[in-house]
Structure 1
Amino acid sequence: MLWTFTGHVDGLPDGVEHWLRTDPARNTVPLTVLGRMRAGLWADGATLGWLTADGEVCGAVVHTPPYPLLLADIPVDSVPALADAVRGREISAVSGPCPQAEVFAEVSGLTEVDRTRQRLYRLQALSPASSTGAPRPAGEADVEPVAAWMRAFIAEAEPGSSGSDPLPQMRHRIDQGEIVLWEDGGRPVAMAGFSRPISGMSRIGPVYTPPGLRGRGYGSAVTHAATRAAQEAGGEVILLFTDLSNPTSNSIYQALGYRPLSDYISISFSPGDQRA
């Protein structure tokens, strides 16, 4: 097996996306990121890798610094070779299915400082949600407020994160019709995003309610609305990630009809602890 890399999304062989699309659920994040890169986001400094065996693509990874190295559902026995191939690169974290990400952390020689366990859920049948208010798609006038909520979401979910400003990403997603707001009393009180379907797969996220407005059912209601929007956009496989340390969000999404599919993990490394 051989790992090959490029710094440009146009440099990827056609077989890479074809391989990712063979399991769009478990490869949801790399597929979505590649789609954003083709739209002009996260292109600077990116590293895209693919694994071949007997001339056929059988794995892929995506790295858009300062975000984690994203592992698709690659063969576990290919991970040590991947760790050697990215030796010396600035990798702040690795994220992917638990077995692959844990092997990478073990063999990389990098010092682990934190880990976040996530569970990938898939919608079975959407159940009703109840709250006062109603949904609407975010528009141009919502770009700045939505970006501010996204900054708050990142600060809460990833304390100390040094990721790039989410404003361009949120502007793009609003232009694509991917952000749903929940309004109550004439003002937005929560938001949820969904990704435009790729091979029938759409992923819900982020979901955010400001702290002072929580406990009123807004998060559940806006997630329900975003799920409906994903279905109306052609989504047949609807996914979402939850932090396993947050029992509230896990119970809310299961009440809406989402069921566990697979476990993932994000492992952070000590800054500057890169191998020569």
Structure 2
Amino acid sequence: MSWTFTSRLEEFPEAAAAWLRADPTRNTVPLTVLSRLRHGLWADDPTLGWLTDGGDVRGAVIHTPPYPVLLGDIPLGSVAALAETLRGRPISGVSGFKEQAEAFAAAVGLAESSRMVQRLYRLGDLRPPSSTGTSRPADEADAGWVASWMRDFMAEAEPENAGRDFLPEMRHRIAQGEMVLWVDAGRPVAMAAFSRPISGMSRIGPVYTPPGSRGRGYGSAVTHAATRAAQRAGADLLLLFTDLANPTSNSIYQNLGYRPVSDYASIAFAPPA
């Protein structure tokens, strides 16, 4: 087996994209990032890699600095060679299913600075929550404060990435119809996003309720609304991630009908001395 890399999106082979699409549950994150790249987002110096064995594609990875290396559901036996090939490049971290991500971290020779373990959930039977208010899609007039909420969300979830400009991405997602707001008493109180369906798969996230509006069921309500919006857009496979350190969110999503699939790790590396 051997790894091949390119920084040119047009050189990423269709066979590698097809390998990702063949299991949209376990390859959900690389698939959605690849879609963003094709729409001109996160395009600064990307690295796209694919694993071949006897001419057949067996795996794929995507790296869009400053974000971590994203592992598709690659064979565990290929991880050490991948890490060795990427050694010396500016890598801030790795994200993937827990076993592969931990194997990469052990092989790449960089000191771990932090990690977040998440759980991937898949929707079973969607159940409605109980909350006051109603949903609506975000529009262009909402873009500024939606981007501000996104910065607040990242400051809580991924503080190392909270400083970037989220406005272009939020404008794109609003234009795509991916941003859903929950409104109560005439004002937005929570937001959730969904990815446009790829091979029937859509992933919910981020979900954010500002601190002053928490504890009233808005997070559950807007997640339900975003799930329904994704279904109306054509998704029949609905996924989301939760932080295992947050029992509240894990309980909320299971109450809506989401069921665990597997654990996922995001491991950050300390900058080289």
Please tell me the TM-score bracket, short chain as reference.
over 0.9
In the TM superposition, what is the alpha-carbon distance from 1:164 to its structure 2 partner?
3.0
Name the structure 1 match of 2:249.
249
RMSD, aligned α-carbons: 0.9
In 1, Cα distance between the equivalents of 2:169 and 2:77? Answer: 34
Name the structure 2 match of 1:159.
159
Query: Contact (CA 8 Å) 2:42, 2:64: kept in 1 or not?
Result: yes
Identity of aligned residues (%): 69
In 2, Cα distance between the equivalents of 1:161 and 1:7? Answer: 22
In 2, Cα distance between the equivalents of 1:160 and 1:231? Answer: 32
2:10 pairs with 1:10: yes
Name the structure 2 match of 1:28.
28
- In structure 2, stretches of 5+ residues that fail to align are none
In 1, Cα distance between the equivalents of 2:64 and 2:148? Answer: 22
In the TM superposition, what is the alpha-carbon distance from 1:162 to its structure 2 partner?
5.7
SS at match of 2:160: coil
- Within a 5 Å distance, the mapping from 1:184-203 to structure 2 comes to 184-203=184-203
In 1, Cα distance between the equivalents of 2:269 and 2:120? Answer: 23
- Within a 5 Å distance, the mapping from 1:136-151 to structure 2 comes to 136-151=136-151
In the TM superposition, what is the alpha-carbon distance from 1:166 to its structure 2 partner?
1.4
Query: Contact (CA 8 Å) 2:110, 2:272: kept in 1 or not?
Result: no
Query: Contact (CA 8 Å) 1:8, 1:43: kept in 2 or not?
Result: no
Deviations 1:143-167 (A, max 9, x none): 0010000000000011233663211
Deviations 1:36-73 (A, max 9, x none): 00000011111000000000111000000000100000
Query: Contact (CA 8 Å) 2:154, 2:162: kept in 1 or not?
Result: no
TM-score (normalizing by structure 1): 0.97
Name the structure 1 match of 2:260.
260
* Pairs aligned (count): 273
In 2, Cα distance between the equivalents of 1:8 and 1:90? Answer: 18
Name the structure 2 match of 1:240.
240
Deviations 1:136-185 (A, max 9, x none): 00001010010000000000011233663211111100000000000011
Query: Contact (CA 8 Å) 1:66, 1:163: kept in 2 or not?
Result: no
In 1, Cα distance between the equivalents of 2:232 and 2:162? Answer: 35
- Flag as ranges the 4+ runs of structure 1 deviating above 4 A: none
The one-letter code sitting in structure 2 at the alignment partner of 1:267 is I
Name the structure 2 match of 1:92.
92
Question: Per the alignment, do residues 127 and 240 of structure 1 end up closer, same or farther by CA in structure 2, a change over 3 Å counting?
Answer: same
Name the structure 2 match of 1:54.
54
- In structure 1, stretches of 5+ residues that fail to align are none
Query: Contact (CA 8 Å) 2:152, 2:162: kept in 1 or not?
Result: no
Name the structure 1 match of 2:74.
74
Query: Contact (CA 8 Å) 2:4, 2:50: kept in 1 or not?
Result: yes
The one-letter code sitting in structure 2 at the alignment partner of 1:122 is R
The one-letter code sitting in structure 2 at the alignment partner of 1:90 is P
